[in-house]
């Protein structure tokens, strides 16, 4: 019996952090799965710059990937610098992928929505910080 709290990958007993492409994965395997997917789309894109548009399925996967990555970033989970760098890299790569598609309006709206939201939160907290600084 497979323990649902453990990563789906064989021989991996680390706790599940997220699900991606219907697999329950630990952080390490989520990162490697994401890179697998992103590398796959990029290689295909490099063959011809003219037909560099990712398929709808790839954009949906990139969207899912970005959301999962963001969930992990926003969770209270403690991440080391390498993990942070990997997650940020994956998130930006997903954004590039969605941005490189011709159908920007429909497919990549959710990703820009996510980054937009992140930006708002960031500026909000910065405002909060300066307010505190002024008060003191
Ligand atoms: Zn794992």
> Separation of 131 CA from ligand 1 center, angstroms?
43
In a domain, 31, yes or no: yes
* CB-based contacts of 57, cutoff 8 Å, min separation 6: none
Q: Which two tokens stand for residue 105?
A: 């309006």
> Separation of 31 CA from ligand 1 center, angstroms?
10
Residue 23 φ then ψ, to 5°: -110, 135
For the question of whether the overall pTM of this predicted structure is more than 0.85, the answer is no
> Separation of 25 CA from ligand 1 center, angstroms?
5
pLDDT (tens digit per residue) in 32-61: 999 999 999 876 555 555 456 788 899 999
Q: Which long-range contacts (CB under 8 A, 24 or more apart) does 28-31 make?
A: 30/68, 30/72, 31/83, 31/86, 31/87, 31/90
pLDDT (tens digit per residue) in 88-133: 999 999 998 887 765 444 444 455 555 555 555 555 555 555 554 5
> How far, in Å, CA of 131 to CA of 136, rounded?
9
Give the total number of structural domains in the chain. Answer: 1
* Count of other CB atoms within 10 angstroms of residue 38: 20
In a domain, 10, yes or no: no
In a domain, 3, yes or no: no
> Separation of 39 CA from ligand 1 center, angstroms?
19
* CB-based contacts of 28, cutoff 8 Å, min separation 6: 12, 14
In a domain, 9, yes or no: no
> Separation of 133 CA from ligand 1 center, angstroms?
43
In a domain, 8, yes or no: no
In a domain, 76, yes or no: yes
In a domain, 58, yes or no: yes
Owning domain of residue 90? 18-135
Q: Please say whether the beta carbons of 24 and 7 come within 8 A.
A: yes
In a domain, 108, yes or no: yes
């Amino acid at each position: 019996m497979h323990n649902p709290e453990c990563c789906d990958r064989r021989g991996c007993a680390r706790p599940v952090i997220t699900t991606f492409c219907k697999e329950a994965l630990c952080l390490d395997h989520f990162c490697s799965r994401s890179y697998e997917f992103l590398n796959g789309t990029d290689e295909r894109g490099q063959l011809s710059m003219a037909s560099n548009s990712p398929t709808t399925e790839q954009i949906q996967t990139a969207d899912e990937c970005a959301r999962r990555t963001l969930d992990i970033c926003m969770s209270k989970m403690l991440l080391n610098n390498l993990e942070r760098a990997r997650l940020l890299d994956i998130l930006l790569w997903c954004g590039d992928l969605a941005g490189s598609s011709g159908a920007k309006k429909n497919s990549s709206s959710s990703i820009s929505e996510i980054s937009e939201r992140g930006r708002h939160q960031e500026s909000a907290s910065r405002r909060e910080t300066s307010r505190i600084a002024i008060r003191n």
